[in-house]
Amino acid sequence: MPPRSASLARHAPEPLFRGQDAAPATTLTDSVWSRLRADILSGGLAPGSRVTIEFLKNRYGAGASPIREALWRLSAEGLVKSSSHRGFEIMAVFRDELVDIIRLRIMLEQQALEESVAAGTVAWEAEILSCFHCLSKHRQADGQEWDYWHSRFHDALVAGCHAPVLQQMRRQLFDLSSRYRNLTRSLTNRDDLEEHRALMEACLARDLYRAKKLIADHFELTGQLVLSMFEQ
C-alpha cells in the first residue's frame, strides 16, 4: 500500500474503496470482502443482480465459508441483501437514496472541512498539493487510478479534522456515492479538475466560506449528472 506522504511521485494504487475498514486484508475473508466490495462499488457486479455462493467461489477462488462471511459483512453495510429463500442479491440503486446521500455528504463534509481548515498544518497543506498534483495527471476515464487519487485528494482536504466517527461516516458516504457515479462513468465526459483546483485553493487560503460553498456545489453537480442518467 503506498505511503500517505507529501511526495509528488506516482504510487501504485491501493485498493480502490476502503470503507470503514482501512486496514490491509489479513485473512482470506478480509481479502474476499475487499474484492467483493470493490466489485459492488465499481459496478462490476450489477445492482439488483443475484449472486450465488458457487458463482463467487469461482470468481474469487475462495471457499464457501469466507464467501458467506464476506456477504454477511456486506449485508450489514447495506451493499448486499440476503433472503432465506433467494440467497444474496446486490443492493439495487434508487433515486431517492442518491438524493439522501448527497444531502448527508454535504453536511458532513462541510463540518469536516471547518475543523480541518482551522487545524490544518503545513504538512496538511503539502499533502493537499501533492494529491492534487497526482489527481491532475488523470481523468475519470482512466478508471482506478483516477478513483484512487480522487479519494486521496478529498481525504487530504479534511485530514485536519480529528473526529474518527465523523471521518468514518463521510468515508462510507463517499463510497456509496462512488457506486452511483461509477454506474454512469461511461455516459458523461465531465472533467472536474478545475472544481478540485478551486477547492484546493480555497482550503489553502483558509477561506472556509468559499470552501464550504464549493464542496456543496461539487457534490450537487455530481448528483445532478447521475440523476440525469437515471431519467434517461
pLDDT in tens, 187-204: 666 778 999 999 999 999
Mean pLDDT of 112-140: 95
| 10 inside domain | no
pLDDT grade for 84, boundaries at 50, 70 and 90: low
The Cα 198–Cα 194 span in angstroms is 6
Q: Are residues 100 and 86 in the same domain?
A: no
Instruction: Specify the pTM.
Output: 0.80
Residue 158's pLDDT is what?
A: 97
Question: Of 90, 107, 138, which closes a domain?
Answer: 90
4 part of a folded domain: no
- Residues 164-170 have a mean pLDDT of 96
Asked whether the beta carbons of 60 and 32 are under 8 A apart, the reply is yes
- Please check whether residues 55 and 166 belong to one and the same domain: no
Domain that holds residue 138: 95-231
DSSP state of 185: G
- Tens digits of residue pLDDT in 90-110: 999 899 999 999 999 999 999
Closest CA to 36 of 76, 82, 67: 67
Q: Which of 51, 71, 90 is the C-terminal boundary of a domain?
A: 90
Domain of residue 172, CATH code: 1.20.120.530
From CA 121, how far away is CA 110, in angstroms rounded? 18
One domain for residues 115 and 200 = yes
Does 43 fall in a domain?
yes
C-beta atoms surrounding 4 within 10 Å: 15
